[in-house]
Structure 1
Amino acid sequence: MKKLLLLLTATVFLLSCSPKKAVVSQKKNVDVAKYMNTINEANLSKNLHVVASDEMQGRNTGEEGQRKAGLYIIEQYKALGIKNPPGSTDYYQKVPSEFMKKGFSPRLGDSENIWAFIPGAEKPEEVVIISAHYDHIGMKNGEVFNGADDDGSGTVSLIEIAKAFAEAKKEGHAPKRSILFLHVTGEEHGLHGSRYYSENPLFPIKNTVADINIDMVGRRDTLSNHKENGKYVYVIGSDRLSSELHSINEEMNTKYVGLNLDYTFNARNDPNQFYFRSDHYNFAKKGIPSIFFFNGVHEDYHGPNDTADKIEYDLLTMRAKLAFTLAWELANRDNKIVVDKDGK
């Protein structure tokens, strides 16, 4: 009888535990690799052969080809059951032509950022942004500049990462924090789309946990060591604002992916200064910890031969998986990552 009483007491105690505690416990036991491995070469290739096709006319900002690519991107999110974020009317954040009249930009037509959203289950007001630009440089003398690597590779990576999160959510493992998948426009003409979002954010900057930016991740650069060992990715900016962002990325890579993390272009004195040349920088300027994944410059950079058949899909898959595992950890850890550096 005493044993029965103890058993009943224990059962009542377990049943009285809050759902929130149960979710936290469950999160810690999720098989992250299972969802990571839904990211695959076949889907990346299928989507990239559309996004970087001649039909998209090089996706120049504000032109018909870019709009076609945008519609295709939105179709993929709808098929995954991923909606536009709360507070928006659709999948577009309009970026007016007038805003993009700055610096070296030509006269551009009105354009749009594209956003999709998975709400957080426990801390929905805190948001992890994963970004990539979906514009390229259009056509010249009737020749299409397809931009498969720049940045079709990042564009399709976002879709695959979103698919992995959607699959986890379907099986009861929605992220604790919200995820905003942000395809920005106007990068090639001056980082306009990301600048527009950072100055007109849908969610408060103070609630933005980090930006994971993916720009050119489908090929290798011309360095000799990378020709022999292609399993690398350049990591830029991870240690500028948050020591935790840097260490977490290294931990996720060691645990799940196994790429060679190359910090060459993260050096403060590197002459290329890539830290200031992609969309993450507009988030970093606002004090948001930001990381930029990059494969470096190759012989087809901004040329007509940056085509989908040149992409190394096995390598693209590994890099997308790293971005996913980093986003997963940032979205599901107990506390927001610290901002403990000055950004320099």
Structure 2
Amino acid sequence: MLKSLIYLPIFFLSASVLSQGKAEDYAHYINKEELSKHLHVIASDSFAGRETGYEGQKLAADYLIASFKEDGLQAPPSHPDYRFPFQVLETVFSGSLTLHKKKLQLQEDFFYLFANEQSQREGSYKLIVDLKATSESSIKGNDVVFYANDTLTSFQIIAEYRALKKFGAASVTCIVDNYEKHFEILEHHVTSSKMTLIDDDKKEQVPLLFVDVNKVGKSLKKLDFSFAVSTASKVLDTENVLAFIEGTDSILKNEVLVLTAHYDHIGAHDGKIFNGADDDGTGTVALLEIAEAFQRAKDEGNGPKRSLLIMPVAGEEKGLLGSSYYSDHPIFAMENTITNLNIDMIGRVDEVHQGKADYVYIIGSNMLSNDLHDANERANTEFVNLELDYTYNSLEDPNRFYYRSDHYNFAKHDVPSIFYFSGVHEDYHQATDTVDKIDFDKVEKVSRLVYHTAWILLNAENRPELISQ
């Protein structure tokens, strides 16, 4: 028994090494010249910021489909037009909040997230000082108010909200220091229209309110509270884009690896176009080049054993909507989906790595499977040699990056996933996120890392094994 346990990993390694030798024959199809050519189109003004459901996003989808066809990629049999359609409800909100009989001004004094017309609240309740000292029974069905000092980030507050929501809170109000900072960080979500999947909008939303401490104080014992929302809504049609390479092994081809990147951005506002060159034009064009490399391998008789689904998704900027809809309505069963590799912003250098561009943040690689983590490490060591930075690879990360890109909608279904990311920068969600600032050498290297990792996983004897819970 011990002898066989030693032998099997050696066999796996040798077979995989032989297969991986073929991978290098096609890596050159992923190159900075082609990446640049695609990105100059995807992030151009003609696509008007690629806002989900609008003309610019539709034009981007058309471009992606045309590129897949040009490179010889097929659509999956279930969706022969390369489109995975879904609908979103776009809603313009207005709201009112009265605290202690004082009417507060929306955006100036308070803002809110996650609400809809079913979220009206009115009542009187105590201010909770210590969240950790509260019990689930004291929260369920009640309105919760807590004070957050300036050590809590916006995303930590949202994490507290999600925990309180899970405990059954009817609403959550956070009285915050440094209100202006929170508003700046979340401004896009606060001031733009909101989109939800149609089914989600039918549910009552638990509202989260941010209130300026200077308007109400932090030593209140009790709050008289009235919150109301009014809305105007319309339904929009949108789509993820699909390309498919069927595996060559008669058995393993029933298992699929999914590559994702979101091709939407935040559109045009106040006369400015938000082109989203890095967010996530870089991930989108990486998918095009990785897809081409695998298709060339398939054309020459070296296609992967398992099947590969390449899926640029829409609606990420509105709440990971495209990946959420796919994960709830997959065309390949989640239990047959071995891995999701997700690329979101890989073309810039963040403040921490100034002067040292050869890095990428790896998020989620060992959350569900050590095998996935090892495959990515090996691909990097043998072929790319980037610094793999695991700073944000934590459920306790105050930025909550693990929960903030499309891989999460696969991970929540127990699909081992990696989020490839180069960090935020001063142009994040600004009109200044433009192609001229992209480091295409970096995009090429990270794209090749994703490609080599995918190759290993697609051709391995065994799929990544889940960590025992």
TM-score (norm 1): 0.89
In the alignment, is residue 91 of structure 1 matched against residue 91 of structure 2? no
Shift in Å at residue 65 of structure 1?
0.4
Counterpart contact for 2:394–2:402, Cα < 8 Å: no
Shift in Å at residue 229 of structure 1?
1.3
Counterpart contact for 1:155–1:183, Cα < 8 Å: yes
- Paired residues for 1:144-293 under 5 Å: 144-223=273-352, 226-293=353-420
SS of match in other structure, 1:37: helix
Task: Give the alignment partner of residue 72 of structure 2, picking from 81, 104, 112.
Answer: 81
Structure 1 portions without partners, runs of 5+: 1-23
Partner of 1:134: 263
Q: 1:25 to 1:335 in 2, by over 3 A?
A: closer
* Partners of 1:330 and 1:34 in 2: CA distance: 17
In proportion to residue count, which structure has more strand?
2
* Partners of 2:428 and 2:468 in 1: CA distance: 33
SS of match in other structure, 2:79: coil
Counterpart contact for 1:240–1:341, Cα < 8 Å: no
In the alignment, is residue 112 of structure 1 matched against residue 239 of structure 2? yes
* Partners of 2:299 and 2:37 in 1: CA distance: 23
* Partners of 2:306 and 2:424 in 1: CA distance: 34
Deviations 1:199-235 (CA, angstroms, capped at 9, x unpaired):
0000011100100000000111121xx1121100000
Structure 2 portions without partners, runs of 5+: 1-14, 90-196, 208-230
Counterpart contact for 1:93–1:112, Cα < 8 Å: yes
Deviations 1:258-298 (CA, angstroms, capped at 9, x unpaired):
00000001123210010000000000000100000001000
Which one-letter code corresponds to 2:262 in the other structure?
H
Task: Give the alignment partner of residue 54 of structure 1, picking from 45, 56, 61.
Answer: 45
Which one-letter code corresponds to 2:334 in the other structure?
I
Counterpart contact for 2:16–2:459, Cα < 8 Å: no
Counterpart contact for 2:350–2:424, Cα < 8 Å: yes
Shift in Å at residue 37 of structure 1?
2.1
Deviations 1:287-312 (CA, angstroms, capped at 9, x unpaired):
10000000100010000010111100
In the alignment, is residue 308 of structure 1 matched against residue 435 of structure 2? yes
Q: 1:83 to 1:109 in 2, by over 3 A?
A: same
Counterpart contact for 2:274–2:432, Cα < 8 Å: yes
Which one-letter code corresponds to 2:81 in the other structure?
D
TM-score (norm 2): 0.65
Partner of 1:31: 22
Partner of 2:215: none
- The number of aligned residues is 317
SS of match in other structure, 2:48: helix
- Larger deviation, residues 96-105 vs 163-172: 96-105
Q: CA RMSD in A?
A: 1.8
* Partners of 1:108 and 1:215 in 2: CA distance: 27
* Partners of 1:291 and 1:341 in 2: CA distance: 18
Partner of 1:318: 445
* Partners of 1:191 and 1:261 in 2: CA distance: 25
